[in-house]
Amino acid sequence: MMRVMKAGLVYDPIYLEHDTGSHPENSHRLVAIMSHLEESGTKEKLTRLPPRPALVEELKMVHTAEYISQVKSKAEKGGGWLDPDTVICPKSYEVALYAAGGLLTATEAVMKREVSSAVALVRPPGHHATSNRAMGFCIFNNVAVAAKFALANFNLERLLIADFDVHHGNGTQDTFYADPKVLYFSTHQYPFYPGTGWIDETGTGEGEGFTVNFPMTAGWGDEEYLRAFNEVLVPVARRFQPDFILVSAGFDTHWTDSIAMMQVSITGFVQMVTILRDLAAELCQGRLVFTLEGGYDLQAVPHALKAILDVLLGNAEIDDPVGKSPSARKPGGFEEHIKKIMEIHHIE
């Protein structure tokens, strides 16, 4: 028997107003995703969740007051570059408040059981932003703000953040590095931007052991990601027993993405998302929220979003029209690598 699952979608046209010009992180990404969800009939099956802006007080759970006002005043003065990769326009501060707020809307809807799970299609993305610095197309750390908000407002004890963007979420890791209440698990191409995320970064002080990095050699794909999820994420999550799961969903891990070199297919994303959905069902009453991070191939990303929404809706048939990577050469070393990570994290 199929269980009917209600999945929420956070989206608002305000997300198109963060104007980055010809930068790869631009509004065409969301336009392409939304039109595919519309044409494929997926949108009408989703519960629409109109986002609210995050309050400055909520951002301050992650970011310094100085940094927040610096972004605001830079936008007011016409915008410009916050870091060598991150450009803003006059509207970007407001849009960034809605991006962080979109995750808060999704979190509230899941915690109040209005929906079983939700996907927040927001931009700018967030996982590189640190307490006092914009980095890598990110202004405020949307997922970190949502995690702090969930812990503060819904009486949760433990929260898991899983991050399958092709880049390491250095800002998210930093935010919770000493915090035993938030377990951060990341798979990412390594060595690669932003340079962090090696296996020996495992947390500090009371947070020791609650950061789990699974760096990936360029060229690995579905098989390696699936094993990282099944053999590392699953046992670590079962041991940790989260009350809520947040996911930094980046689709720049797809084999067609031009800015990175991993070989994951849409089928691979579907398998990872199925594992996350099943973990949430087993451990935390299904509470699961995804936020869009990277992903720049305007062909693959809309299909990937539709596919993962099909997983959340409980649909049995899921398409991968883009198919598997044709790349035949795969670098070795995976067995030793996963063994080392399992040792570091005391996984039997």
For the chain, how big is the Rg over CA atoms in Å?
18
Span from 60-68, 145-153, 250-258, 322-330 in contact with Zn ion (CB under 5 A): 250-258
Q: One of 18, 36, 63, 128 is an active-site residue; which one?
A: 128
DSSP 3-state of 170: helix
The least CB distance from residue 199 to Zn ion, in Å, is: 19
**Binding of Zn ion at residue 250 (CB under 5 A)?**
yes
Count of helices and strands (H, E) across the chain:
11, 10
Residue closer to Zn ion by CB (options 42, 186) is 186
State how far the Cα of 182 lies from the Cα of 185, in Å rounded to an integer: 10
State how far the Cα of 287 lies from the Cα of 108, in Å rounded to an integer: 11
Residue closer to Zn ion by CB (options 174, 252) is 252
- Told to judge if 128 belongs to the known catalytic residues of this protein, a careful annotator would answer yes
The least CB distance from residue 119 to Zn ion, in Å, is: 17
User: Which H or E element spans position 92?
Assistant: helix 92-111
DSSP 3-state of 166: coil
Residues 135 to 154 in contact with Zn ion, rule: CB under 5 A: none
Span from 51-59, 103-111, 213-221, 287-295 in contact with Zn ion (CB under 5 A): 287-295
Residue closer to Zn ion by CB (options 221, 250) is 250
Residue closer to Zn ion by CB (options 102, 169) is 169
The least CB distance from residue 166 to Zn ion, in Å, is: 5
**Binding of Zn ion at residue 294 (CB under 5 A)?**
yes
Q: Label the pairing between strands 211-216 and 182-189.
A: parallel
Residue closer to Zn ion by CB (options 243, 252) is 252
State how far the Cα of 71 lies from the Cα of 261, in Å rounded to an integer: 32
User: Which H or E element spans position 216?
Assistant: strand 211-216
The answer to whether 59 touches 141, Cβ cutoff 8 Å, is no
**Binding of Zn ion at residue 252 (CB under 5 A)?**
yes
CA geometry: angle 185, 11, 76, nearest 5 deg: 90
- What residues have CB less than 8 Å from 107, skipping those under 6 apart? 146, 149, 150, 154, 244, 246, 289
State how far the Cα of 114 lies from the Cα of 117, in Å rounded to an integer: 9
Residue closer to Zn ion by CB (options 286, 294) is 294
- Judged by CB under 5 A, the number of residues near Zn ion is 5
Span from 24-32, 64-72, 142-150, 165-173 in contact with Zn ion (CB under 5 A): 165-173
- Out of 148, 167, 277, 337, the only residue in the binding site for Zn ion (CB under 5 A) is 167
**Binding of Zn ion at residue 165 (CB under 5 A)?**
yes
Closest residue to Zn ion, judged by C-beta, is: 294
Catalytic residues: 128
Residues that bind Zn ion (CB under 5 A): 165, 167, 250, 252, 294
